[in-house]
Amino acid sequence: MNYTFTLRTIYPYLGELWQAAAVTLWLSSLAIVLSIALGAGIAVLRRSRLRLLRVLGAVYVEIMRNTPLLVILYVVYFAAPAIGIRLSSFVAALLGLTLNSAGYMAEILRAGLIAVAPGQFEAAQSQGMTGWQVFRHVVFPQVFRTIYAPLGNQVIAVILASSLASAVAVEDVASWMQTVGSTSFRFFETFVIAAIVYLVLCQTVNIARLLIGRWLFRQGATR
């Protein structure tokens, strides 16, 4: 087939691409921050003394890790109104992404908490450290070191997963690709441009993570 690669027809839509990229970035940043918070809550739940809370946390993680994000998005956007929860596209996508990502964040953070040997709390306390000091100087550095690499992976995963928000009418980069592709009929060009946008976003995170990691943990490897 004679397909000539031509960007000329795409030019008029490039303005919308920046907007779309901003939406992708904003959506994934919010989802990352919120899912870390929610994930931390669940990780703590999973280390609770109460069995019920532990089970609850485990059930949440299993559900989120075993259900496709696309289905979660459909449920949050199209099915939730049946019980009176009517969300806009953006909020629904944010909620779906956050709920899903929190399942993974919880596991990452839990692994981090496990990495801190239990005896250290007592040891630090016997040194006369306050709760905050224990967290700041003993717990946090160890947890952070353990979760650093998987956290970076999860950040990239959320950026990639945010592309599914187009299914619930969020105007992100993946939506731009499909809309412009089908109005300008230059599908191949729009695929390439959209792929480049995601590639740049994810590799920026990836490289920043490597550099920051190298600087933070100068003596050890992070990957």
Taking the least distance from each CB to another protein, the nearer of 125 and 142 is 142
How many other CB atoms sit within 10 Å of the CB of residue 105? 29
Q: Is 115 in the site for another protein (CB under 8 A)?
A: no
Interface mask (CB under 8 A) for another protein, residues 10-49, using x and -? Answer: ----------------------------------------
Round to whole Å and give the CA distance between 156 and 138: 28
Kindly state the tokens that stand for 210: 């490597």
Kindly state the tokens that stand for 1: 């087939």
Q: Is 93 in the site for another protein (CB under 8 A)?
A: no
Cβ-contact 171, 114 below 8 angstroms: no
Identify the three-state secondary structure at position 130. coil
Q: Is 151 in the site for another protein (CB under 8 A)?
A: no
Identify the three-state secondary structure at position 3. coil
Binding residues vs another protein (CB under 8 A): 1, 3, 62-63, 65-72, 74-75, 77-82, 86-89, 100-101, 104, 150, 153-154, 156-158, 160-161, 163-164, 166-167, 169, 171, 174-175, 177-179, 181-183, 185, 187-188, 191, 194-195, 198-199, 201-203, 206
